[in-house]
Amino acid sequence: MSMQNPLARVRGKGSSGGGVHHWRSQRYSSLVLLLTTAWLLWLGVSLAGADYATASAAMSSPVNAGMAILMAGAIFYHTQLGLQVVIEDYVHIAALEFALLIFVRFACLIAFLISAIAALKLVVGA
Amino acid sequence: MAIGKRPVVVPISNVNITKGLKPQTMSTSKRPISPYMLGPYYKFQITSALSILNRLTGVFMSVVTAPLLLCWLIALASGEGKYNALSAWLGSGLGKLVIAASVFSFSFHLFGGIRHLIWDAGWMMEMPQVKASGWLAVIGSVLLSLIVLGAGL
């Protein structure tokens, strides 16, 4: 039974009903990031100050390319979920909130696509 | 009604039966209207401080660190010229500051996230444990940052 006024429901007030999915998605993506953290730190330390030849040779490895794509997916998904909560908490102008939520979704999706294409280009050696 | 030690008499004409004090009588006290957890109004607590820091580091990485990693991949895939330009910027003072802030944010958010996952499993939720794990997260993230930055330099 809904305690909500039908008009409020039409206006989109109240719970979206997607909280549990959001919560679980944030945890699952955090687990992926937790497991891939060691790889990112190792890559960052080993390629700190590296020249172009060294860095492109490292990223031509299929293992590094796969890890980069996996991690980019987890990073930008987790980023989208986290920024969504911050926007929902602090932006109270409905139109601006909606615009920012859509922008963050598209920006994170595009960032993941570009990461994946760049990593693939590096491994194929185009 | 008392402000400090001095009792203040509020004229009856300033009291609205349904809404309490009229706004002008409240203007002398600039107190926050809700528990505002920054500044001198609120007692420092490791729990709230780390909660805010976890969110701040997350936003910082969303706005700076993740786009920087993306730029690194794009530059590397775009060729030697772009890669060298980004490398030169990363070696500058501002670049080093951004890297240091990113490494610290990453380390802190990592330990903050581990704390959340432990709580989600229902463990370590007593206040002494929460405070202890908070300080462990602070120490751990500083140490991890120093190790990573030290190894990368």
Provide the CATH number for the domain around residue B107. Answer: 1.20.1300.10
Question: Of A76, A69, A75, A81, whose CA–CA distance to A122 is shortest?
Answer: A69
Contact assignment for B69 to A75 by CB distance below 8 Å: yes
pTM metric for this prediction:
0.82
Residue B129 lies in a domain: yes
Helix (H, G, I), strand (E, B) or coil at B2: strand
In angstroms, the CA B106 to CA B144 distance is 10
Q: List the domain range (segments joined by +) for residue B124.
A: 46-65+94-152
Query: Cβ of A113 under 8 Å from any chain B Cβ?
Result: no
ipTM exceeds 0.85, yes or no: yes
The reply to whether B26 falls in a domain is no
In this predicted model, what pLDDT tens digit does every residue of A14-26 receive, in sequence order? 677 778 899 999 9
Structure confidence at residue A76 (pLDDT) = 98
pLDDT at A54: 96
* Chain A contact present for B32, CB below 8 A: no
% pLDDT > 90, chain A: 81
Give A101's contacts (C-beta < 8 A, 6+ positions apart): A84, A87, A88
Whether residue A12 lies inside any domain: the answer is no
A114 and B CB contact within 8 Å: yes
Q: Among B67, B87, B148, whose Cβ lies nearest the Cβ of A45?
A: B148
Question: Are B113 and A33 an interchain contact pair (Cβ–Cβ within 8 Å)?
Answer: yes
Alpha-carbon distances, residue A40 vs A76, B97, B111, B112 (angstroms): 15, 19, 16, 18
Whether the pLDDT of residue B20 is over 90: the answer is: no
pLDDT per residue as tens digits for the range B126-153: 999 999 999 999 999 999 999 999 998 7
Judge whether A10 lies within some domain. no
Confidence of residue A7 (pLDDT cuts 50, 70, 90): confident
Question: Does residue B57 contact residue B105 with C-beta atoms inside 8 Å?
Answer: yes
Number of separate domains in chain A: 1
Residue with the larger pLDDT of the pair B1 and A27: A27
Residue A59 and residue B74: Cβ atoms within 8 Å? no
Percent of chain A topping pLDDT 70: 96
- What pLDDT does residue B43 have? 76
pLDDT in tens, A70-105: 999 999 999 999 999 999 999 989 999 999 999 999
Terminal-to-terminal C-alpha distance of chain A: 59
Q: What is the CATH number for A59?
A: 1.20.1300.10
